[in-house]
Amino acid sequence: MDPVLLEAVRSGDRRSLSRAITQVEQSGAETGLPAPESVIGITGPPGAGKSTLISGLIDVIRSHGETVAVLVVDPSSPVTGGALLGDRIRMQTHVDDEGVYVRSMATRGHLGGLGPATREVVALLAVAGFDRLIVETVGVGQSEVEIMDLADVVVLVVGPSWGDQVQADKAGIVEIADVFVVNKGDRGGANDVERALRETAAARDVEILVTTATTGEGVVRVLDEIDRLAGLA
C-alpha cells in the first residue's frame, strides 16, 4: 500500500481511510499490517437484530467517550457485486457523529460469513486509531464461523423464532460464541430460546443475555460482558 496514503490513515483522515479500504477491496492485496486486536464479532442468523444491537452498542460506547468503527459484511448484490448496504442503513442515526465510522463490504461470493478482504480492512481501521472495532458478519448459518479467527470476543445474536434451530446449530455458530444474546426479548418465544440455550451455555460457561435492542434494554450488560471477556472490565 502507498505509504503516503497509509500515513494519512494513521493521522485520522477519514477520506484517506475510505480510499485505502476501497483499494484493498478492489486489489485483494495484503497491507502488511499486523493482525488487529480487541475486535468484537457480532454474528447470527438473518433477522435477529444484529445491526440494531450494534447501533445500541455504539450509543453506549460513545457515552463513554470512546470512538468506534464498524465493518458490516453484507450480501453481494447480484447485479453490481457490491454490498447491498441493508445493515448500514440501520445505523444512519450515527452518520453525523465524527466518533463513529461505519463501512459496508460485500461478501463477493466468499463463504464463512466474512468478505475476502475483511481482515485487511479491520487492520486499516485499527491503524486509524479507533478505540473500538466491531465486525458484523453476513446473516450466517451453521457452518459460517470464520469470525472466530478474527474477533477476540464473538457475540451470537438470535431472535425469538430461533428455538428450533438450537440443536441443529450446536456444531456451528453456537459452538464458537463467547456470549449468547437473545434479542427482541419483548416478543413471544424469547424465553423459549433462552431455555433452549441454557444447557449449551452452562457446559461452555457462556452467559446468556436477553436484550430489546430497539429500546436499549440489556445493551449495557452486553458491552459489560464483552469487556469482561476481553479483560477490559
**Which domains, and CATH codes, for the chain?**
3-229 (3.40.50.300)
The model carries a pTM of: 0.89
Q: Could you tell me if 122 and 200 are in contact, meaning their C-beta atoms sit under 8 angstroms apart? A: no
pLDDT at position 144, please? 65
Count of C-beta atoms within a 10 Å radius of residue 164: 10
* 161 confidence band (pLDDT: 50, 70, 90): confident
Strongest mean pLDDT among 74-83, 90-99, 203-212: 203-212
Task: Give the model's confidence band at 140: pLDDT under 50 very low, under 70 low, under 90 confident, else very high.
Answer: low
Task: Give the integer Cα–Cα distance in Å for 143 and 228.
Answer: 27
For position 127, what pLDDT does the model report? 96
Percent of the chain exceeding pLDDT 70 equals 82
* Model pLDDT, residue 86: 52
Q: What b/e readout covers 115-153, taking b as 16+ CB neighbours within 10 angstroms?
A: bbbbbbbbbbbbbbebebbbbbbbbbbeebbbbbebbbb
User: Residue 170 burial (CB < 10 Å; 0-12/13-18/19+)?
Assistant: middle
Residue in 62, 41, 54, 64 with CA at minimum distance from that of residue 211: 54
